[in-house]
């Protein structure tokens, strides 16, 4: 197959690339050259390095590469809006390749922004054109998005992933938490407790440390309870988004499974889609739109 364009998911810490022939992937690459460690003048050389051996074909990129601290700022577009990604051109042709970046989205009231997730939502609709409902995109900053008639209507962000990382990595609880997969029973128990009695969940955070010291609480169980508590608080706050609705969860496999399990425990019909599949489908939709093809 002939490579005729390149899809790029350029986040804060990583760069994922796919050499494409129309809708088909020819080759995939991944580098730890996220925008967080790059100056504006670094992006073109990094792209050239990352795409070495590929032809000089157009690049469609999404993610934090389009932030104010990225390569070129791709301004936020207001919602409600169609889910078809809008593109901003990088000046010149870096490495002989035209480069376009997907614009993020903004919500003025209540104030909120997203960058990267809009491409995954476009991918969801490209793969499921009749979708009408709620998408949950778990990650560092989890997004809950209402989608109707092919439009992104509104959305809400929760900092659950970042809070977990801060508590697990920098608080006193870091000494009591294990790595690996969460204990399912402990996780769901913590979700239930956090939703039913949030005041107990908040007071129970330090209890994880105390139980580890006094009764040998297993690190894996402690980690599952912390995760369940934070996700439980999020589900309680996000209840208007999922109550009485079917939800599609888009994200990395392990984290998506936690959200799917937590929602299913509340009786919510849940389907899942990988973030990779959604991102690639969204970038493909953006590329086809740039060619005037639907």
What residue has token string 């294990």? 178
pLDDT tens digits, 160-191: 999 999 999 999 999 999 776 778 999 999 99
Q: Determine contact, residues 230/193, Cβ cutoff 8 Å.
A: no
**What is the pLDDT of the chain when averaged over all its residues?**
95
Q: Determine contact, residues 250/275, Cβ cutoff 8 Å.
A: yes
CA–CA distance, 178 with 220 (Å, rounded to integer)? 5
Please name the residues in contact with 265: beta carbons below 8 A apart, sequence gap of 6 or more: 188, 191, 192
Angle at 276 between CA 274 and CA 279, to 5 degrees: 110
190 and 95 assigned to the same domain: no
- Given this model, what pLDDT does residue 182 score? 73
Cα 122 to Cα 87, 113, 158, 286: the distances in Å are 13, 16, 21, 8
29 and 91 assigned to the same domain: yes
Pick from 114, 37, 117: which is nearest to 70 by CA?
A: 37
Please report, for the domain that includes residue 233, its CATH number.
3.30.420.310
The pLDDT of residue 294 is above 80: no
What residue has token string 């998408």? 135
Residue span of the structural domain in which 263 resides: 158-274
pLDDT tens digits, 142-162: 999 999 999 999 999 999 999
80 and 183 assigned to the same domain: no
- Given this model, what pLDDT does residue 59 score? 98
270 and 281 assigned to the same domain: no
Domain count for the chain: 2
Q: Determine contact, residues 26/20, Cβ cutoff 8 Å.
A: yes
The whole model's pTM is what? 0.93
- Indicate the SS3 state at residue 28: strand
The pLDDT of residue 202 is above 90: no
103 and 169 assigned to the same domain: no
CA–CA distance, 251 with 245 (Å, rounded to integer)? 19
pLDDT tens digits, 7-36: 999 999 999 999 999 999 999 999 999 999
């Amino acid at each position: 197959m002939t490579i005729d364009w390149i899809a790029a998911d350029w986040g804060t810490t990583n760069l994922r690339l796919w050499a494409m022939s129309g809708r088909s992937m020819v080759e995939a690459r991944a580098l730890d050259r996220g925008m967080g460690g790059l100056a504006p003048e670094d992006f073109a050389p990094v792209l050239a390095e990352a795409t070495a051996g590929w032809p000089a074909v157009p690049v469609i990129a999404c993610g934090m590469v389009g932030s104010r601290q990225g390569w070129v700022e791709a301004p936020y577009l207001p919602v409600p809006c169609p889910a078809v990604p809008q593109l901003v051109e990088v000046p010149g042709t870096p490495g002989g390749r035209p480069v376009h970046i997907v614009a993020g989205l903004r919500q003025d009231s209540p104030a909120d922004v997203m960058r990267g997730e809009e491409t995954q939502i476009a991918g969801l609709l490209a793969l499921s054109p009749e979708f009408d409902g709620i998408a949950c995109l778990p990650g560092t900053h989890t997004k809950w998005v209402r989608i109707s008639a092919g439009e992104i209507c509104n959305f809400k962000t929760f900092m659950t992933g970042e809070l977990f990382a801060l508590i697990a990595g920098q608080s006193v609880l870091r000494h009591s938490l294990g790595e690996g997969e969460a204990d399912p029973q402990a996780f769901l128990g913590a979700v239930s407790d956090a939703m039913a009695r949030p005041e107990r969940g908040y007071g129970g955070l330090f209890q994880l440390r105390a139980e580890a010291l006094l009764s040998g609480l297993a690190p894996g169980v402690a980690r599952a309870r912390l995760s369940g508590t934070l996700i439980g608080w999020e589900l309680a706050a996000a209840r208007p988004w999922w109550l009485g609705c079917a939800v599609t969860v888009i994200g990395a496999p392990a984290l998506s499974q936690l959200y799917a399990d937590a929602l299913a425990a509340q009786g919510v019909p849940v389907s899942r889609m990988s973030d990779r599949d959604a991102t690639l489908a969204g970038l493909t939709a953006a590329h086809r739109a740039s060619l005037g093809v639907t």
